[in-house]
Structure 1
Amino acid sequence: MTDRKITSEDLYKIKTPADPRISPDGSQIVYTVSSIIEKTHTYQSHLHVINRNTQAMEQWTFGENKNHSPRWSSGGNLAFISDRSGTPQAYVMKAGGGEGRQLTFSSHGVSNPLWIDEDRLLFLTYLPENDSYENPKKKPEYPVPLEVTQIRYKSDRDGFIRGRKSRLFQLDLSTGETRELVSCEGDAESPSVSAGQLAYVHTPPEIPGTGLVSDIHIKNLKTGADKNITGGRGIFSKPQFSPDGRCLAFFGHEKEYKSATLQKLWLYNTEHETLQCLTGEWDMYAGDAAVSDSLYGAVSPDVQWTADSQGFYLIVTDRGSTGVYYGSIEGLMYPVRVEEEHVSGLAMHPSEHWGVLSISTPISPSELFEADFRTGEIVKLTHLNQQWLEGTLISAPQAFEAEAEDGWSIHGWLMKPAVMEEGKKYPLILQIHGGPHMMYANTYFHEFQVLASQGYAILYVNPRGSHGYGQDFVNLNRGDYGGSDYKDLMTAVDAALEDFSFVDQGRLGVTGGSYGGFMTNWIVGHTNRFKAAVTQRSISNWLSFYGVSDIGTFFTEWEVGGTMPGDAMKLWDHSPLKYADEIDTPLLILHSEKDYRCPIEQAEQLYILLKRKGKNVKFIRFPEQNHELSRSGHPLLRVERLNAITAWFNEHV
């Protein structure tokens, strides 16, 4: 029996297998393993291969760098991306492994390799429109002003855009020649090829009043004819041609409920030029909407076609879990694996109906499994986290539901403290996810386990606005931020206090990030029942958020239901800053300095106002980090963040 508790620093022990790919002959499975190098506090990822005939497992790349995005050619060669030269470049190696040969030499780096055939490889690079791949302009040796002419001029992922965009190139391996395949204003991404056809996602510059748009285009590589098949009506992604090239499947929606619209599966017939939504009557989210803090290196999978071009497999989100479904081109959809787990990766053998899944549970980070969907048999392939887990106390959550005042069911989990004594009461921390249109799930969450090891019960639920519970439910909080969603959370707290007698109702804490940070700010401005709060990458003022966030204009309009300046009073009414006088709860504010999604001025305003009023508040700024600090930020700062959260609750709860 072990008594070792999980610590913040155990983040360094977690290994994440992801992005599995099956070789064309089905004999090998390549995947990435991502982890943290303890001595340098940096991330690394390497390619590993399983030989299905011998069950042998080999590591194919080495060194303190990142190797990822493996892609098999039809002849069995393996392309991948590596930053071993200093910037991410495409490499190729033989099917049996060996030294990789560098293929690209872009000063800006490349990504997303995709084979056209054995001699041609597609890749993306992020370049200004007037730069060439072969001879990009030299970076200036002195500071230059940033000229801004577009609404979207910065990105939480990429920083200041400076005229750059994702551009799609083709490399001829025999000659080394490259040429750009798409000429468009805006980004060209996510390519798929079949018999002289190129499908890709086109994201044009934001048009005032319309918000985000991303379309699926099909280009004839011989004639150059380019067709927009989705017509500028919505947000679409991940196109994949069927093996016979007659159909193109992709995800997306037409913004019927703006950012709260369920993602659906679409099918375009290239012969008849008809577009059909296959899951239009299906009240579930097509894809993975689960949130986790322990999936560094994970890749959201495309639709997986079968060899006969009559069906496909995909991941589906439903009621706190993600599972695998099979669908046909006629619109038949049925589950083939639905368990209380988080399937974050999927690769299918096209003709034999078996696949490789990345699966996480609340008590285990991701591992790879091979599943036969004809028999239901599943076999664990990797045991990367087994040794660490065997020596560690893990808390398993218990699912529960509470009924909201208007009858909706609020689904969630209560995680007990890792160590409990009979008859003793324990403090409880309410966790609130971001999005808001995401979902807590049956997945491993390191932050929850760290707090549980400190003696806290953890309550995490999916209030209205969360995915996984149907279109009506996910749309309920739009225009009502701080209304019934706040009541849902308080209802869940009340239900937990009633159902779990070991919870000390006088020792409650609350925390959350992004939308969860907004809601944390809102809660402490509307009730004093929590003894301490930690707000992370939060929103405090919708009036300024409108103009400073990289999604501010359309997100504020879609989610809160107001614009500037016409709806200024409505935006102010929904701003936690308005209620700062009512905040008496000790509040820790955590924010990243290069967060362009929820810019740090949101934290600065809240901190200065509370400090000026003599409130119990503390502000921690994380340098050089963006909105993704808790998931992919600098490892040392991720640990500092976790330690700051536990220290604040230990002091005040």
Structure 2
Amino acid sequence: MPMTLLRYSLAALAIAAAPLAHAAGAPPRPISHEDVWLMKRLGAPVPSPDGKWAVFSVVDSAYDSKEQWSDLWIKALGENSPARRLTHSKGGESGLNWSPDGKQLLFVAKREGDDSGQIYLIDIDGGGEAQRLSTLTLGARLPKWSPDGQRILFVSDVFPGAEDEEAIKQQAKERKERKHSARAYEQFPPRHFDKWLDDRQPRLFVMDAAPGAKPRNLLAGSKLAALPGFAGAQSDDGQTLEAVWAPDGLSIVFVASTNRDEAARAARLTQIFTVALAGGEPQALSRDKHSYEKLQFRPDGKALLCLTQAEEAGKIYDLSRLASFAWPSAGGAAPAILTAALDRSVSRFAMPQGGQRIFFTYEHAGLEQLHSIDYRGADLRAEASPASGAINSLQAGGKALVGVWESAVNPPEVYAFHGGPKRLTAYNVERAAAIDWQPPEHFWFTTADGRRIHNMIVKPAGFDPAKKYPLFSVMHGGAASMWRDQFVLRWNYHLLARPGYIVLLTDYKGSTGYGEAFTRSLQFDPLKGPGEDINEAVDAAIRKYPFIDGQRLAAGGASYGGHLANWLQATTTRYKAIVSHAGEMDLVMQWGTSDSGFGREVNSGGPVWGGLPVWREQSPIMQAGNHEKGTGFRTPILITVGELDYRVPVNNALMNFATQQRLNVPSKLIVFPDENHWVLKGENSRYFYKELHGWLAKYL
């Protein structure tokens, strides 16, 4: 990597070189679950078009969800005055979008009298209560002002055969009154994470920016929307269509899939389309086998920028690269790939006005920092960034550049990045300053086959290098993910370490942040190779740190980390305890019952009926015979799962527990009936950490 990508200004280094000092006179204390759960949660700041203000959401967390609040706050970017609250409601707001003159703000909320989220407008300049603009039966989301400030573009849903509001309202009434509760499907997948899918379809609407205005469905009657594979991106709130106004305000540019009906047998592609504001059939702007997302027009209106993935056939992972289409675009013209020479995935990008550079972030070795490139895709630079942690959002308004920065010992705060990083808020500073914690320590080692592996260790409160500590190796999910130096709600590093453990965080083969080839190296080797990396990382940590007790080892993880936990429990007895949350037990069963399947076939080399050995040889359940040989399936294991998890369905946990009990292995199964892939409710989270700590204490 060029040295220019590794340099940081002295001012940037000073920002995050150490955790915040604790309050004078009060000794720091170990972190508690309350500290983790009750930290303020900040949404992405959205700067005004003139760069004078930024609006963002702040969640006041509570163990009882009925007591949790989420409101919008506004902060002046050019002065040191504190942020002020804009809204006062429990429901929360999303989809923030400034009017072109910076005087009004759109957002989506579900307030009194709303059955679904609706679009609201608040007058930032004049004050007053927010006005409801939409009253659609199926709600509205992702509002965007037109360039002239006269109209609003947004996404809403329709039912098959019901494209206007009256027909939708009538069909909604009929569905509510029907006697049966059956679900019927003719396309895969029927489920997503924790929801059974229905037949709602996303559409783009435009309406005048006034209460009571009638929305118009831009895709009604189009051949594109009638395709059996037409779809938007799947989110927790249903399908959505990412869309932006063209600079002249006469058309809409959007991203959609046309092969959703092939999801069980092919990768879903997302292409770029445009539709005239006056109506008519949408036209394709991209006609390739790639995918596109995160559309933004350059401030001068001469280019459409986005992120693209090559979707290379037969590969499990593609870098997200920054692409630029000349505008106005000739449909079908290939974009310029601006980050073709960068072997990293661009996470997010922004373009301040008045400049000629694109600012973006990407993952590398536990960090996510700021970089830039010019409009031609040349002169790649590292910009001033905090020396630790991760930038987790980035948006431009006027000449301003704002986002959220956090680290493992600095919970999220809003930052300005134009002119160097500057913290703008202090919602979590006081609470964080009272905690006895240290930043993660980074180290690398070389595997037996010559690969460089990055790791972090986290030490407990009151750490004494003269003592010996048990080691808890925690595996990240993904697998296309990376351990980041950030404040984490689930599997919080310092809360895991609190009883007196060293927590080891390893970026094994298949992790992101180390180049495309490193992430793709997981293909055809879904568990064995990464498991070997974990074992070698444990050995390296023991060699490097004399305070680690090499005889007291534990391992655990969630999602793909849970898969690895099950693999380690099946293939080695070196660990005294294992914790597995949402871990797969059988590759074949996981293929057939999860909400994604085709990618698993690509990863394993072919379908489950093709006779490929990986389906059996790297399924933890198929290692059960190792128990008789004195190797795997002997380590005490804590198995946890959310009953509403459709990504790694509960049958994996049930098979795991049945296997352990059949082999008389000390084991405990905990099922959360109201949780999905994660444990998101406060008291459930507190119980999870209590049980995890109890399990480790019992066997370590």
Normalised by the length of structure 2, the TM-score is 0.86
Please state how far the C-alpha of 1:235 moved relative to its aligned partner: 2.9
Does residue 404 (structure 1) correspond to residue 447 (structure 2)? The answer is yes
Aligned to 2:216, the other structure's residue is in SS state strand
Does residue 436 (structure 1) correspond to residue 479 (structure 2)? The answer is yes
Say if 1:313 and 1:578 are closer, same or farther in 2 by CA, change over 3 A: same
Please state how far the C-alpha of 1:19 moved relative to its aligned partner: 1.4
Does residue 509 (structure 1) correspond to residue 554 (structure 2)? The answer is yes
Aligned to 1:70, the other structure's residue is in SS state strand
Correspondence list, 1:70-469, <5 A: 70-75=96-101, 76-85=103-112, 86=114, 87-96=116-125, 97-116=127-146, 117-132=148-163, 134-135=165-166, 136=168, 137-138=172-173, 139-141=175-177, 142-156=179-193, 159-174=195-210, 176-182=213-219, 183=222, 184=225, 185-187=230-232, 189-194=241-246, 195=248, 196-204=250-258, 205-207=260-262, 208-222=264-278, 224-231=280-287, 233-256=289-312, 258-271=315-328, 273=330, 274=333, 275-287=335-347, 303-307=349-353, 310-332=356-378, 333-338=380-385, 339-350=387-398, 352=399, 354-373=400-419, 376=420, 378-421=421-464, 423-446=466-489, 447-469=492-514
Q: Distance in 2 between matches of 1:538 and 1:434?
A: 10
Please state how far the C-alpha of 1:42 moved relative to its aligned partner: 5.7
Q: Distance in 2 between matches of 1:407 and 1:592?
A: 39
Say if 1:42 and 1:328 are closer, same or farther in 2 by CA, change over 3 A: farther
Q: Distance in 1 between matches of 2:216 and 2:444?
A: 56
Q: Distance in 1 between matches of 2:85 and 2:368?
A: 29
Give the root-mean-square deviation of aligned CA atoms.
2.1
Please state how far the C-alpha of 1:125 moved relative to its aligned partner: 2.6
Aligned to 2:244, the other structure's residue is in SS state strand
Instruction: Supply the AA of the counterpart residue of 1:430.
Output: S
Say if 1:421 and 1:547 are closer, same or farther in 2 by CA, change over 3 A: same
Please state how far the C-alpha of 1:451 moved relative to its aligned partner: 1.7
Instruction: Supply the AA of the counterpart residue of 1:163.
Output: D
Please state how far the C-alpha of 1:569 moved relative to its aligned partner: 4.4
Deviation per residue, 1:414-460 (Å, 9 max, x gap): 11121234532111110111110111112123521112221111000
Q: Distance in 1 between matches of 2:303 and 2:255?
A: 16
Residue of structure 2 in register with 1:37 after alignment: 62
Please state how far the C-alpha of 1:101 moved relative to its aligned partner: 0.7
Q: Distance in 1 between matches of 2:373 and 2:276?
A: 28
Aligned to 2:474, the other structure's residue is in SS state strand
Say if 1:39 and 1:148 are closer, same or farther in 2 by CA, change over 3 A: closer
Q: Distance in 2 between matches of 1:127 and 1:647?
A: 49
Say if 1:281 and 1:42 are closer, same or farther in 2 by CA, change over 3 A: farther
Correspondence list, 1:515-530, <5 A: 515-530=560-575
Counterpart pick for 1:47 among 55, 59, 72: 72
Query: 5+ unaligned residues in a row in structure 2: which ranges?
Result: 1-25, 233-239
Please state how far the C-alpha of 1:38 moved relative to its aligned partner: 4.1
Please state how far the C-alpha of 1:164 moved relative to its aligned partner: 1.9
Q: Distance in 2 between matches of 1:44 and 1:585?
A: 43
Please state how far the C-alpha of 1:132 moved relative to its aligned partner: 4.2
Residue of structure 2 in register with 1:293 after alignment: none
Correspondence list, 1:570-581, <5 A: 570-580=614-624, 581=627
Query: 5+ unaligned residues in a row in structure 1: which ranges?
Result: 288-300
Q: Distance in 2 between matches of 1:156 and 1:225?
A: 33
Say if 1:278 and 1:3 are closer, same or farther in 2 by CA, change over 3 A: closer
Aligned to 1:337, the other structure's residue is in SS state coil
Instruction: Supply the AA of the counterpart residue of 1:113.
Output: P
Aligned to 2:383, the other structure's residue is in SS state strand
**Number of residue equivalences:** 629
- Range with bigger deviation, 456-465 or 334-343: 334-343
Please state how far the C-alpha of 1:223 moved relative to its aligned partner: 5.7
Confirm or deny: 8 A CA contact 2:459 2:494 kept in the other structure: no
Q: Distance in 2 between matches of 1:95 and 1:228?
A: 38
Q: Distance in 2 between matches of 1:12 and 1:458?
A: 20
Q: Distance in 2 between matches of 1:319 and 1:12?
A: 27
Q: Distance in 1 between matches of 2:472 and 2:637?
A: 14
Confirm or deny: 8 A CA contact 1:19 1:69 kept in the other structure: no
Deviation per residue, 1:622-645 (Å, 9 max, x gap): 123222x24xx2222222222222
Q: Distance in 2 between matches of 1:515 and 1:53?
A: 44
Please state how far the C-alpha of 1:10 moved relative to its aligned partner: 2.4
Aligned to 2:622, the other structure's residue is in SS state helix
Q: Distance in 2 between matches of 1:635 and 1:113?
A: 31
Instruction: Supply the AA of the counterpart residue of 2:682.
Output: P
Say if 1:133 and 1:450 are closer, same or farther in 2 by CA, change over 3 A: farther
Please state how far the C-alpha of 1:546 moved relative to its aligned partner: 1.5
- Range with bigger deviation, 222-231 or 513-522: 222-231
Residue of structure 2 in register with 1:292 after alignment: none
Aligned to 2:585, the other structure's residue is in SS state coil
Aligned to 1:19, the other structure's residue is in SS state coil
Confirm or deny: 8 A CA contact 2:82 2:425 kept in the other structure: no
Aligned to 1:37, the other structure's residue is in SS state coil
Residue of structure 2 in register with 1:295 after alignment: none
Please state how far the C-alpha of 1:53 moved relative to its aligned partner: 5.1
Aligned to 2:669, the other structure's residue is in SS state strand
Aligned to 2:31, the other structure's residue is in SS state coil
Normalized per residue, the structure richer in strand is: 1
Say if 1:265 and 1:393 are closer, same or farther in 2 by CA, change over 3 A: same
Q: Distance in 2 between matches of 1:147 and 1:540?
A: 28
Say if 1:498 and 1:616 are closer, same or farther in 2 by CA, change over 3 A: same
Q: Distance in 2 between matches of 1:93 and 1:575?
A: 54
Say if 1:166 and 1:223 are closer, same or farther in 2 by CA, change over 3 A: closer
Identity score, percent = 25
Aligned to 1:192, the other structure's residue is in SS state strand
Normalised by the length of structure 1, the TM-score is 0.92
Correspondence list, 1:542-553, <5 A: 542-552=587-597
Confirm or deny: 8 A CA contact 1:250 1:267 kept in the other structure: yes
Residue of structure 1 in register with 2:14 after alignment: none
Please state how far the C-alpha of 1:358 moved relative to its aligned partner: 0.6
Deviation per residue, 1:348-369 (Å, 9 max, x gap): 234x3x4212101121111111
Instruction: Supply the AA of the counterpart residue of 1:335.
Output: A
Residue of structure 2 in register with 1:60 after alignment: 86
Instruction: Supply the AA of the counterpart residue of 1:267.
Output: S
Instruction: Supply the AA of the counterpart residue of 2:111.
Output: R
Residue of structure 2 in register with 1:18 after alignment: 43
Q: Distance in 2 between matches of 1:316 and 1:153?
A: 33
Counterpart pick for 1:566 among 610, 629, 633: 610
Please state how far the C-alpha of 1:318 moved relative to its aligned partner: 2.0
Q: Distance in 1 between matches of 2:286 and 2:452?
A: 35
Q: Distance in 1 between matches of 2:375 and 2:275?
A: 22
- Range with bigger deviation, 77-86 or 218-227: 218-227
Deviation per residue, 1:574-593 (Å, 9 max, x gap): 21111134311111111111
